[in-house]
Structure 1
Amino acid sequence: MRIPIQYNVGTEIVETKALIDSDTGGRFICEEEARKLKKPWTRLEKPIKVFNVDGTRNKIGWITHSVTIDITIRDRLMRETLLISGLGPERVILGLPWLQDHNPDIDWVTGVVHFRPRRKIIVKRPMKPFIGIFDETKELDTGILDRVEDDEVLIRSFIKGEEDSDEIRINAKLSTSQVLAQAHEVKVKPLEELLPTYLSDYTDRFEKKKAERFPLSRPYNHTIDLKPDFKPWDCKIYSLSPKERIEQDKFLDENLWKGYIQPSKSPMASPFFFVAKKEAGVLRPCQDYRDLNNGTIKNRYPLPLVTDLVDKLKTAKVFTKLDLRNGYNNIRIKDGDQWKAAFKTPQGLFEPTVMFFGLTNSPATFQAFMNDILKDFINKGWCVVYMDDILIFSDEINIHRLHTRHVLERLRENDLYLKPEKCEFEVTKTLFLGMVITPGHISMDETKLAGIKDWEVPKTIKGVRSFLGFANFYRKFIGKYAELARPLHELTKKDTKFEWTEPRDIAFNVLKAKFLQRPILQMPDDEKPFIIEADASKWATGAVLKQQGSNGELHPCGYISHAFTATERNYEIYDCELLAITNALKAWEHYLLGGAHPVTVLSDHKNLTYFRTAQKLNRRQARLSLYLTQFDLQLVHVPGTKMVQSDALSRRPDLIDEEENDNEDIVMLPDKLFVNVIDTELKTMLEKALPNDEFLQMTIESLIDNGTPPIKSSLHDWRTEGNLLFYKDRIYVPNDPTLRRLIVKTIHEALPHRHPGQWNTVDQVQRDYWWPGMTKFIKSFVDGCAACQQMKVNTHPTRTPIQPIGGHKDVLPFQIISMDLITDLPKIADCDSILVVVDHAATKGVIFIPCHKKIDATDTAELLFQHVYKRFGLPDKIISDRSEIHSRSLQGNGKIIGDKANAKYRLSSSDGRRD
Structure 2
Amino acid sequence: TPYKFDVNEEEWFTHRNRERFRKQSPIKEEEIFLQVEVMVNNEIISSSDADAWSQVMLTPKPNMKWRFAIDFRRLNETLLKKGFPIPRIKEIIDQIASRKPNVFGKMDLTHGYHQIPIDEECRDYTTFITSRGLYKWNRLPMGLTNAGQYFQKILRTEVLCGLSDHVVIPYLDDMHLATQTEEEFIENLREVLKRFDKHNIFVNPSKCFFGLDKLEILGHEISKEGTTFSREKLQGVNDFPLPITSGNLMSYLGLCNYFRENIKDYAKLEEPLRKMVKPNKLEKLIWLQNELDAFKKLKDEIYNMPLLFFIDDKLPIYLNTDACESGIGGYLYQVKEGKEVPIGFYSSKLRGSELQWNTYEKEAYAVYMSVCQFQYLLTDAKFTIKTDHKNLLYMNQNDSSNKVLRWKMFLQQFDFDLQHIPGKENIPADLASRLYEGETQRTINMASFQLANIHDETEMNHMDSIEDIHRIEYEKHDEIINQYHNSTVGHHGFERTMRLLKERAHKTWKGMRKNVREFINKCPHCQFMQDVQLKLKLIPYHVMTWRPMDRLNIDHIGPFPKDEQGNVYILVCIDVFSRFVELIPVPDREAVTTAKATLQWIGRYGTPYELLSDNAPEYLSNVMQELLKLADIEHLKTLPYSHEENSVVERANKEVVRHLKAIVFDKKLWPSWSIVLPIVQRIMNSMVNRNTGQTPASIIFGNMIDLDKNILYKTEPNVDETTLSEYITKLLTLQARAIHLAQETQKSIIQKYDATHQIPEGYDNELPLNSYVILEYGKDYIHKPNKLAMNFRGPYKIININGDRYTLLNLLNDKTITVHRMHIRAYKQSEHITPEEVARNMATEFKVESVLNIQGNRNKNRQFLRTDLELLVKWEGYEESYNSWEPFSEIKSTEAFKQYCLNNNLQYLIPKQYKANDGVIPV
TM more than 0.5: no
TM-score by length of 1: 0.29
As a proportion of its length, which structure holds more helix? 2
Normalised to the residue count of structure 2, the TM-score between the two structures is 0.29
